[in-house]
Amino acid sequence: MSLPLGEQLQRLSAKLRAEIGPAVTDEYTRTQTFMASVILERLSKQVMFAFDHLMVEQQEVAVLHKQLAGILIDAPDVVAHARVAAEATLEVAALGALIRELYAWGAGEKLVEDALSLIRPVLRADIDRRMEIAQ
């Protein structure tokens, strides 16, 4: 029975950190061994969390777009097109163009602020997921 990739990477990272790194006598090589351990640890988290994070992100972005569609009814065409384009991907990264168009349309406007207040928690949640991997 084979271990999942994320667990394999974690075990390799632990082996480098606990056994191989301390046994290396050359200081530069030992430092590189410990750095490889850190990189493998991060990769293992990315692999382990990738599917769950993607599912949560897509769900959050889908809900966001339903909310935005309801409040951006009277938005200019360029904002509407940016929203539809972002909705097509269901990725947080695609919100950038929509945010730029919202600010260009009218920073400080009530409708723009309402839209941004819906977008910000989704962006914050994305940052939190990334930090889960970085820790």
- Amino acid (one-letter) located at 31: T
End-to-end CA, the chain: 29
Parent domain of 100: 5-134
Q: How many domains does the chain have?
A: 1
* Predicted TM-score (pTM) of this structure: 0.77
Reported as a single tens digit per residue, the pLDDT across 8-61 is 999 999 999 999 999 999 999 999 999 999 999 999 999 999 999 999 999 999
Q: In this structure, is the dihedral angle defined by the CA atoms of residues 84, 128, 37 and 39, taken in order, positive or negative?
A: positive
Query: What is the per-residue pLDDT for 74?
Result: 85
- Model confidence at 2, pLDDT cuts 50, 70, 90, reads confident
Q: How many CB atoms lie within 10 A of CB 101?
A: 21
> In the predicted model, is pLDDT for residue 107 greater than 80?
no
The model's pLDDT over 92-104, given as tens digits with 9 standing for 90+, comes to 999 999 999 999 9
Q: How far apart are CA 59 and CA 57, in angstroms?
A: 5
